[in-house]
């Protein structure tokens, strides 16, 4: 992170011990020292307008697009908001629940049969690609005002509540599905505000009637 100029390390839950035990070069000390702990992934990513998960898999059960790192970097460079890049534990990677917080996934183009990478090396390669010099591409305007993840979570939480009050029980893992659904909307902040207003109004009515 220090080598490629990424200072903002956020740790979720169990990783504090590992971080305290981590030894680092002189440049990296400041990154570790300034790292912050969060108890949930939702809190850690609340201010991000784009949340990207990492995976070693080429295919995954989750209904999320998996981009090659090279392609992912283009999208990342076009994005002007804050981006969260999630790495799971070296052994297990990100859980399906973690992935529900992601807009899409990125994979490093490793060779078939040797897809599992050392965590530190995976981070280094990923961040290198993000700062790698590439041909200039015009920024896409619509990306600029995307809704932060905290707002998407608020929206899906309220929607979930409304569905429960409405007796919507068809689907399994409905909470997960709603999160993914919301992320596939590519909501701009201004639209997210409207959606929140809509769902809150409906929720208010549903609660009043019950």
Interface residue list for its own copies (CB under 8 A): 2-5, 25-28, 68, 70-71, 73-75, 108-111, 113-118, 120-122, 124-125, 128-129, 131-136, 138, 159, 162-163, 165-168, 170, 177, 181, 184-188, 191, 194-195, 197-198, 201-202, 204-206, 209-210
Q: How far is the CB of 14 from its own copies (least distance, A)?
A: 22
Taking the complex as a whole, how short is the minimal distance between the CB of residue 30 and its own copies, in angstroms? Answer: 9
Q: Report, in Å, the least distance between residue 39 CB and its own copies.
A: 29
Q: By C-beta, is 59 or 91 nearer to its own copies?
A: 91
Tokens describing residue 188: 């701009």
Nearest residue (CB) to its own copies, 36 versus 120: 120
- For residue 114, count CB atoms less than 10 angstroms from its CB and return exposed for 0-12, middle for 13-18, buried for 19 or more: exposed
3-state secondary structure of 133: coil
Residue with Cβ nearer its own copies (38 or 78)? 78
> Least distance from C-beta 38 to its own copies, angstroms?
25
Answer yes or no: are the C-beta atoms of 186 and 143 closer than 8 Å.
Answer: no
Q: Which is nearer to its own copies, 44 or 126 (CB)?
A: 126
**Sequence-distant contacts of 152-156: CB under 8 A, at least 24 apart:** 152/179, 152/182, 152/183, 152/187, 152/192, 153/42, 153/46, 153/179, 154/196, 155/182, 155/187, 155/192, 155/195, 155/196, 155/199, 156/181, 156/182
- Cα–chain center distance at 4: 20
Q: If we measure between CA atoms, which residue out of 171, 145, 174, 151 comes closest to residue 161?
A: 174
Rounded least distance, CB 166 to its own copies, Å: 4
- In angstroms, give the least distance from the CB of 175 to its own copies: 13
Pick the closer one to its own copies by CB: 43 or 56: 56
Q: Give the residue with the Cβ less far from its own copies, 57 or 131.
A: 131
């Amino acid at each position: 992170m220090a080598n490629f100029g990424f200072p903002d390390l956020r740790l979720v839950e169990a990783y504090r011990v590992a971080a305290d035990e981590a030894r680092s070069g002189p440049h990296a000390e400041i990154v570790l020292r300034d790292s912050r702990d969060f108890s949930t992934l939702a809190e850690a990513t609340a201010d991000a307008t784009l949340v990207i998960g990492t995976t070693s898999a080429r295919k995954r059960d989750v209904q999320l697009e998996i981009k090659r790192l090279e392609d992912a970097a283009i999208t990342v460079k076009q994005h002007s908001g804050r981006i969260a890049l999630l790495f799971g534990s070296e052994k297990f990677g990100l859980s399906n629940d973690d992935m529900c917080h992601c807009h899409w996934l990125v994979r490093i183009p490793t060779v078939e049969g040797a897809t599992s990478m050392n965590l530190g090396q995976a981070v280094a390669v990923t961040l290198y690609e993000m700062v790698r010099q590439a041909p200039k591409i015009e920024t896409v305007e619509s990306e600029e005002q995307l809704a932060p993840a905290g707002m998407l979570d608020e929206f899906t939480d309220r929607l979930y509540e409304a569905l429960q009050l409405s007796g919507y029980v068809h689907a399994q893992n409905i909470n997960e599905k709603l999160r993914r659904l919301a992320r596939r909307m590519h909501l701009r902040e201004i639209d997210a505000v409207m959606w929140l207003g809509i769902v809150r109004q409906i929720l208010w009515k549903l609660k009043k009637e019950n």
